[in-house]
């Protein structure tokens, strides 16, 4: 985020290449999260958030880096786009919103087109809010990082005390996984992809799940 770019790094921590650093000839504000499609295209959020620096882009947005390396804007009407994931079949893009007029309740879903663009915006599910955020005019969901498993279950890390909120492929809320501290990001791993790693404000946690996470494209 503070480097205003998306980079690919090797296992040794060295930068292999810069994936994206500008859009429309202007530097990015704060790239936040990303997901990769089966063609090698990359969706990422630029949340119009650049601590201590002037904002350069006009609006918060979701951008798509085509397999050929072209950066195109695909979404520009979410207040604070944050975590995002593709469904296991790659046909649906999910984007969570951290705050806004609805306090960031909505998880949005879009149909993915052959060229990587998206259409048919709709609300996939609504996040729970703590009583404090429900009652405050400026309350927020605190939606942050996300993950998807092979069954299409959708996991959202939230920073406001409700841990990881979990929804099935139809958007039904299955329950919350408590976190010892505010949790920010999620990633499946392990030999069988059944370990969910959780980054939080006081460390990195892991928990074993019954369903494997969606494998990243190779």
Catalytic residues: 144
Nearest residue to 146 via CA among 120, 190, 109, 103? 109
Nearest residue to 106 via CA among 135, 73, 80, 136? 80
131 sits in which H/E element: helix 131-135
29: left (phi over 0), alpha (psi -120 to 50) or beta: alpha
Dist CA 66 CA 63 (whole Å): 10
Give the strand pairing for 81-86 and 92-97.
antiparallel
Dist CA 167 CA 151 (whole Å): 11
132 sits in which H/E element: helix 131-135
């Amino acid at each position: 985020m503070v480097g205003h770019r998306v980079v690919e790094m090797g296992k040794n921590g060295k930068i292999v290449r810069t994936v994206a650093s500008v859009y429309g000839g202007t530097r990015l504000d704060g790239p936040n999260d990303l997901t990769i499609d089966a063609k090698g295209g990359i969706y990422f959020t630029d949340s119009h958030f650049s601590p201590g620096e002037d904002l350069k882009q006009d609006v918060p947005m979701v951008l798509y880096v085509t397999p050929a390396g072209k950066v195109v804007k695909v979404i520009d009407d979410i207040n604070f786009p944050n975590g995002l994931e593709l469904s296991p079949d790659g046909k649906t893009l999910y984007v969570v919103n951290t705050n806004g007029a609805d306090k960031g309740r909505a998880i949005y879903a879009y149909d993915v087109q052959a060229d990587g663009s998206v259409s048919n915006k709709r609300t996939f599910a609504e996040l729970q809010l703590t009583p404090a955020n429900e009652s405050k005019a400026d309350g927020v969901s605190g939606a942050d990082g996300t993950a998807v498993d092979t069954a299409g279950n959708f996991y959202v890390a939230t920073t406001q005390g409700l841990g990881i909120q979990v929804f099935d492929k139809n958007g039904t809320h299955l329950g919350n996984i408590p976190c010892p501290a505010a949790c920010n990001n999620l990633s499946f791993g392990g030999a069988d992809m059944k370990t969910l790693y959780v980054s939080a404000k006081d460390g990195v946690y892991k928990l074993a799940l019954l369903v494997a996470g969606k494998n990243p494209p190779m």
